[in-house]
Amino acid sequence: MHFPRSSGVLLHPTSLPGRFGVGDLGSEAHRFIDFLVQSGQQWWQVLPLGPTGYGDSPYACYSSLAGHPLLINLERLQERGLLDDGDFANVPEFHPDRADYDRAYDFKMPLLRKACEAFKAHASDSEKEAFQQFCEKKAFWLDDYALFMAIKSEQKSASWHTWEPKLAKRDPEALEQCRHRLSDEIFYQKYLQFEFFWQWADIKRHTNDRGISIIGDIPIYVAHDSADVWANPENFKLDPETGEPELMAGVPPDYFSETGQLWGNPVYDWDYLKQSNFKWWIQRFEAMLDLVNYIRIDHFRGFEAYWAVPHGEETAINGEWIKAPGKEFFEALRQDLGNLPILAEDLGTITPEVEELRDMFGFPGMKILHFAFGSDPGNPYLPFNYQTNCMVYTGTHDNNTTIGWYESLSEHEKTNLMDYVGCISSDGIHWDMIRLALSSVAALCVLPMQDLMGLGAEARMNVPSQAKGNWAWRYRPEMLNDDIRDRLSTLTRIFGRAPEHWQ
């Protein structure tokens, strides 16, 4: 797929400002979109939007297709009469720089339940019809997800494979009893998704109407404790007795970790998926494209071959590469969708076979400037080695911020960096790297908001393999200022990445 020369910003909605503990889809989201427009950007990249579990990672959600209830903006519910002024009389004092998922959950979820009861009692006929149509359209995943979350609540959040066998193995009679017993909770879970999708659709419409496209994120794997695995166990390599993964996903030792990364997700039974003509995967892409315009595939190389680690291992060292039917899958997906609006996260252990798969379908790969200055002129992340059909970042959500990265470099790496950029300008190393990214030949340039704001390591979004303390960075409203907008606008224009009407 051909992409015009353009640029955008990487910012997950949880990082937006707001008074309810976690960024959401309220007025600050619209203000951020206005910033993108005013600075000449054409892309907004987000992380997975699903309901997170332990560790708050958007890459470990209870569903690959549901939305996170904490992203629902309460003030928009108040505007529709589902909440009232009294509900906001005792909003806790949340930390302005860090998302507090636990306290936000404790505050918001009772109000969302109250809004659900108000909707039940007072929704207009058109609202009831809209809810019914939503439930019917999304039934292929929503019915299982709502039931899964209802049972999980009853089971005090225990992982599904520890439920009584009839529930874990989806005995039809046991599930029917649950549907009857837990009907109120099931309705509530569906209502949360209705509100999330309604608010997100409004955000997407506003974004697209302003000339901004949204890049979403599909993690190649889903969490073991998810509705995806519970409802579709045949798609995964699971122990038929215990329900635990027979083989766990991860990556071998790499830049991020000497022992590799052991994610714990079950790997796919690709033979079964292939026999079903990849129906589950194709439905996943179709559903994702209701939310976003383009899809970044996280861990793209897993479609060519994946690292599989036997259950019981404590690190990812003792795994093996197993071939995956990536070519057959993307051909089936292209037959269904036509042009594939896909971007490939092709970092890590990349072989010629992975590059061939990526290039066969014309997917842009990723270039990270933080990886560019530790070796020799053949380093593929140095800008003069790029091909046009790629996207360049200073760093991603898995990297340190540029200032944090620079401060952690060895003297050798700093010297090597200076050989390329000359000297650090008065604007700071973050603007030097932003300029380098924008000036490259890469068709797409995506910049983390932390770098635009010149923030240090305290604003890092994620440290891979660290289970707790990630995904919490937020900015304060005053930090999104005219100075950043004007600097970014100027650089975007002079390096030919602004929209046509700016030229």
In percent, the amount of the chain with pLDDT more than 70 equals 99
Tell me the mean pLDDT in the region 13-29: 97
In percent, the amount of the chain with pLDDT more than 90 equals 89
Tell me the mean pLDDT in the region 351-356: 96
Q: Give 40 or 256, the one with higher predicted confidence.
A: 40
Question: What is the value of pTM for the model shown?
Answer: 0.96
Going by pLDDT thresholds of 50, 70 and 90, the confidence category of residue 422 is confident
Q: Report which secondary-structure segment, H or E, holds 188.
A: helix 183-209
Q: Which of 298, 304, 346, 432 is catalytic?
A: 298
Distances (CA, A) of 13 to 68, 464, 471, 474: 11, 20, 11, 9
Contact assessment for residue 343 and residue 215, using Cβ atoms and an 8 Å cutoff: yes
Cα end-to-end span (Å), the chain: 23
Interval 108-167: pLDDT, tens? 999 999 999 999 999 999 999 999 999 999 999 999 999 999 999 999 999 999 999 999
Residue 503: pLDDT above 70?
Answer: no
Q: Which of 345, 346, 432, 451 is catalytic?
A: 345
Q: Which of 185, 398, 432, 451 is catalytic?
A: 398
Interval 188-219: pLDDT, tens? 999 999 999 999 999 999 999 999 999 999 99
Residue 30: pLDDT above 70?
Answer: yes
Going by pLDDT thresholds of 50, 70 and 90, the confidence category of residue 13 is very high
Spell 65-94 as b/e; 16+ CB within 10 A means b.
Answer: bbbbbbbbbbebbbeeebbeeebeeeeeeb
Structure confidence at residue 272 (pLDDT):
97
Going by pLDDT thresholds of 50, 70 and 90, the confidence category of residue 293 is very high
Q: Report which secondary-structure segment, H or E, holds 447.
A: strand 444-448
Is 320 known to be catalytic?
A: no
Contact assessment for residue 473 and residue 99, using Cβ atoms and an 8 Å cutoff: yes
Contact assessment for residue 84 and residue 115, using Cβ atoms and an 8 Å cutoff: no
Residue 257: pLDDT above 80?
Answer: no
Is 298 known to be catalytic?
A: yes
Out of 108-122, 349-363, 464-478, 485-499, which region has the weakest mean confidence (pLDDT)? 464-478
Residue 423: pLDDT above 90?
Answer: no
Going by pLDDT thresholds of 50, 70 and 90, the confidence category of residue 63 is very high
In the chain, where the domains are located: 232-363
Is 398 known to be catalytic?
A: yes
